[in-house]
Structure 1
């Protein structure tokens, strides 16, 4: 799980002026050009070059440098590694000190930023924020605060792989979630442990193990460790698993109940998701009139906040349109648009779902 591993590039766990200078030279830029490329002041880069290993860029600059290195061409990455070797720097083997209180604050800030990145499906930047902490110090060497932050980092990494959603991603997500869960159990934080259990149930569903997922959701819907909102989400997801198993009528009952609770809890985004899932359940029951009514309600509830939500809503709408020969052409167009957005943002699970809909349409 190391940035640049494919090209055997040294990973910088903490940048100093020395590594920053090597990256500038690898990019073959002047000090001014490098500053403009990073979006920082020329004086900042000049300070790095003057003090070299005796200065450490601030957290924002650390993230920027991570991103520039990760997105650089292979030739640039190779030059960067050679320049570090010539300077006698071996970032992969450098012993990092245990995080201090100040590091904990920076770490927590990075996690908050990673959450925002994941909500926008900016997986590349999210990874740079998470990777620097996952490999810095083994969790057994951390204090309780450090172990909590490490577990949160693992959780977000699992979320990233789950959102990307290829078969390999889901296997990795399950493994990473299990590691995070063990840490939360050791720290005696039951709410976080239960939230991991909920994420593992989602992975079960996405992996096609619908009966197992429904069973897990059922237990978590009554789990006092979770907030009321998370318990209602679990109930909605029971309905999702049942709908996928062809039990549309039972799914609709559960989904309607969950939708009412989302309304009572003043959670409009979750309520809109429930309308979308109800639309698909009604489609599965062969009731296209109600399916169209619910999907239009979901579509009018507000603009999707992320590429993932956009793809999910468009895919659901297309699936319903494809069920009626009179609107099938419109459905194919909508599905193509959803596939393009999913491909652009690396949403592998959504692409698989779209392909499954297309195959079902061909054999219908």
Structure 2
């Protein structure tokens, strides 16, 4: 603790990102990055935007990008909010929508761990709602038995780190039962096989859907994310943004993101390649004796009944293969494994065969 810190830093536990070591022949399956490169059109657009015009500030409203996102999803541009990665978008959502006179935010006990960090940062009371025994989110837990109206509800769909997706009917039921509070659906992984709650925006003006270009658009290094919601909610998020940073998305990022959104053929091709590899990987892990949860993301969540999760993670790391292990209750025996190329998955499984045989 430093005498120079603000008071609230004492209780703040920062989010811990997946490690990014510089090791030769490293297979990174720990941060859910896309195994294939960005759209060539996106790369060309970034190069074309790298001109003397970088002396000028970017479009602070990301107009062309918001219009392209709106067109893709059948929305108005006024329903789209763009930020510097979905983490920044989420930060503005926590700050702008969930700080409501001490009311409690509802979210799953097992989900994206950054949510708890934001709650501490913005002093938002939170109630963690346990997942079911099969690690699914139960809609009734966000509908029944509440003593007071919450500040809001947030969950990932597909959920992280489980990869399990909720049906739209469950999200619809949650939104209907909580009509006066924001229901935020974080869809970082939705493009890999789940249904998007964007389809529900016309029915429910309290739904906020968050997307990132880091996963299915293969642009993690560009840092672009967005939220779609009713225009009143977007207006509130813009108030927060313009009180924090009026130019969050730089000119190169806007150019690359716009081209990636517009290149639907490349998106569909690489998205399907990841889905196919995921199904094959899940089958291979099952054959090796793992329990694999049903994933609709670009990762799988798996545990082996005869081998400790942390020990498996260490053994893989010793072979220059990184996976994510969480030392948390209920999931400390699981490994979250990013889906790589078929060759990546083969290397992982071949290494696991050697580890399992050696430690049996």
Using the size of structure 2 for normalisation, the TM-score is 0.26
The structure with more strand, counted as a fraction of residues: 2
**By percentage of residues, which structure has more helix?**
1
Larger Rg: 1
